[in-house]
Amino acid sequence: MSHMLPFTDPRSAEGRNPKTMVSGRGCHVTDTEGNEYLDAVAGLWCASLGFSNERLVEAASKQLSTLPYYHSFLGRTAAVTDALARKLTEKLPVGMTKIFFGSSGSEAVDTAVKLTHFYQNARGKPEKKRVVARQGAYHGSGALSAGLTGLDYCHIGFDLPGAMVLRTGRPHYFGDAEPGESETAFSRRRARELDALIVEAGPESVAAFIGEPVMGSGGVVPPPDGYWEAVQEVLARHDVLLIADEVITGFGRTGSWFASQRYGLRPAMLTMAKQMTGAYFPMSALALESNVAEVIEKHAHELGTLGHGFTYGGHPVGAAVALEAVRIYEEMDLPNHVADRSNALNAALAPIKANPRVGNVRVIGLMAGVELVDGRDPATKLARRVADEAERRGVLFRVIGPILGISPPYVVSDAEVELIGRTLVESLDAAVRAEGY
């Protein structure tokens, strides 16, 4: 095979060809064999409007025939990209007034780190450079963002994470709380650990903390009660910036336009991608809080330029698609629409809670995690088997260790949500039988 596949065991890919998709309709995709699948994860948490939205296709096509490419370097830009920047500031948390575009989530995260460093240099704090990230986090595959990611398989063999990164505990209450520990007490413990980490490293060396408001690729982990409040108190005390990584959660995934609004985060920087274009075009952005942006722009002016950018950042076709996606989200009354679909998903996942192999079910907007257990241990092999059984039944889930990840397109119907729940129940029963429990 000439195609080197990301996050895939190359040997197993040699043995059995990867499942190769050729077309999509609604929430379904079809492979080369003609098998159709309900994609319960919207690809990689991103195809929020399904796989056949005509308006997004039309927006892309119109832009392709008007101005198919322009950049935003050297004092030039494209009108549509500029219009998108303005539109985004209307939807973002109050005070986030500047937008820097990229093409991928990793680029947005790398931009956040570089601009954090630039900002600290501008403030005359060149020693304040380290970034705290959490175990289980996913922040991308770039040289900086992969280091911030808190998953061993992204580091081993790559000489990562590197000295810039400080690691703190994940906010996974179900997985990591002590017996009898309340959510609030667990949140306070995580905040104390963060405080101790920063104090030990020396607050003068710590520039920023990066976190997904709800963890995605680390297992769909919502913040336990009081978590962000406690964390932000520690960050403010040590003059450490908050970077909210909203690459998955931005544009309604958790029920509000941005999860920072839902959970009361006051980030200095915020990354977005994925649902921004419904994944019809690779595009990302970093939003900056106005005071931070002002310091950065003043310093760039002193230096004569902001020496950072990507050829395809803010691509006009992506911008046109994103503007149309935002229009569609507005028309669907995004927060209410997601709340309604979330209730349906919750109801569809209720029956699986009765299975003793299910330790925890978490539904946040249109993200869900079903965590499987083996007594008190995580049931990782079983989860893989459940996903295989579900695939055979025509539904695609994401396996994250012992967790089955779910994040369907926002356009998922009642019947499709029910199918997701029913398939999960049947697949778990079949997997348990096959494993001989």
The binding site for ligand PMP (CB under 6 A) comprises 44, 104-106, 109, 138-140, 212, 216-217, 245, 247-248, 273
The DSSP secondary-structure symbol of 415 reads H
Strand partners, 134: 168
Amino acid at 139: H
Nearer to ligand PMP, 104 or 187 (CB): 104
Nearer to ligand PMP, 56 or 352 (CB): 56
Residue nearest ligand PMP, CB atom distance: 105
Residue with tokens 């229009």: 327
Q: Kindly report the CA angle at 387 between 382 and 391, in degrees rounded to 5?
A: 145
Nearer to ligand PMP, 248 or 428 (CB): 248
Residue with tokens 């009642």: 414
Nearer to ligand PMP, 171 or 359 (CB): 171
- The sign one gets for the Cα dihedral 111, 117, 121, 124 is positive
Taking the complex as a whole, the smallest distance from the CB of residue 215 to ligand PMP amounts, in Å, to 8
The DSSP secondary-structure symbol of 150 reads -
Nearer to ligand PMP, 81 or 106 (CB): 106
Taking the complex as a whole, the smallest distance from the CB of residue 147 to ligand PMP amounts, in Å, to 13
Q: Kindly report the CA angle at 212 between 425 and 183, in degrees rounded to 5?
A: 70
How many Å separate Cα 219 from the centre of its chain?
11
Q: Phi/psi of residue 420, each to 5°?
A: -60, -50
DSSP 328-347: HHHHTTHHHHHHHHHHHHHH
Which two three-digit tokens encode residue 70? Answer: 């322009």
Taking the complex as a whole, the smallest distance from the CB of residue 217 to ligand PMP amounts, in Å, to 5
Taking the complex as a whole, the smallest distance from the CB of residue 33 to ligand PMP amounts, in Å, to 27
Taking the complex as a whole, the smallest distance from the CB of residue 305 to ligand PMP amounts, in Å, to 25
Nearer to ligand PMP, 273 or 349 (CB): 273
Give helix then strand counts, H and E, for the chain. Answer: 15, 16
Rounded to whole angstroms, what are the CA distances from 191 to 129, 181, 422?
A: 20, 15, 39
Taking the complex as a whole, the smallest distance from the CB of residue 251 to ligand PMP amounts, in Å, to 13
Taking the complex as a whole, the smallest distance from the CB of residue 303 to ligand PMP amounts, in Å, to 28
Nearest Cα residue to 254 out of 347, 342, 345: 342
Nearer to ligand PMP, 112 or 293 (CB): 112
